[in-house]
Amino acid sequence: MSQQITGVVLAGGLGRRMGGVDKGLQELNGRPMVQWVLERLAPQVDAVWISANQNIQRYGEFGYRVLPDRIPDFAGPLAGLHAALTVAESPLLVTVPCDSPFLPSDLVARLHAALESQNADLAVARVGSQLHRAFCLVRRELLPELEAFLGSGERKVGLWHASLNVVEVGFDDQPESFGNINTLEELQALRQAD
């Protein structure tokens, strides 16, 4: 890939559906979920950051820069993207959630190819008819649009995407790669399946 890409692992939520625990730090097969995600993402990008609002020191122990939101009150994944775009020097950023430990090893290459071929603002992963909006590649130059969107009080990722030139990238060949673990029950089921 000719353009530099920074990878951002989104770990800034409150983990409400998981009982208020920090999802990225929950263990799967003896390692925090975020570690699985980092190991899959790092070879695909030029730099990796972690977007986190709690347990900053613990996330820092993985050896990557940790960025807290600049917008208060756990404003969601767009706030994590906003924090990263604000300090990014690379022209492109890709985001992935901290609770999807099996993300595709060719995620970034496929998103990047589609973004460039369609001259889009943003490329997002899709399986069947379902968009996986947290898996997206975005141009740094969209920061003003994102700031205006968040400044208006909006927080919904889909609504922001609808305002952009978005290309959807099919991953029907590996749907299991986008499984995310939202509850303790889902995490326990994965542990038992192993």
What is the per-residue pLDDT for 147? 93
CB atoms within 10 A of CB 193: 6
CA–CA gap between residue 190 and residue 187 (Å, rounded): 5
Residue ranges of domains in the chain, CATH in brackets: 5-193 (3.90.550.10)
CA–CA gap between residue 117 and residue 193 (Å, rounded): 40
Per-residue pLDDT tens for 72-117?
776 688 999 999 999 999 999 999 999 899 999 999 999 999 999 9
Per-residue pLDDT tens for 134-175?
999 999 999 999 999 999 988 899 999 999 999 999 999 998
Ramachandran angles phi, psi of 28, nearest 5°: -130, 115
CA–CA gap between residue 169 and residue 94 (Å, rounded): 14
pLDDT greater than 80 at residue 184: no
pTM of the model: 0.89
CA–CA gap between residue 133 and residue 184 (Å, rounded): 22
Ramachandran angles phi, psi of 72, nearest 5°: -75, 170
What is the per-residue pLDDT for 168? 98
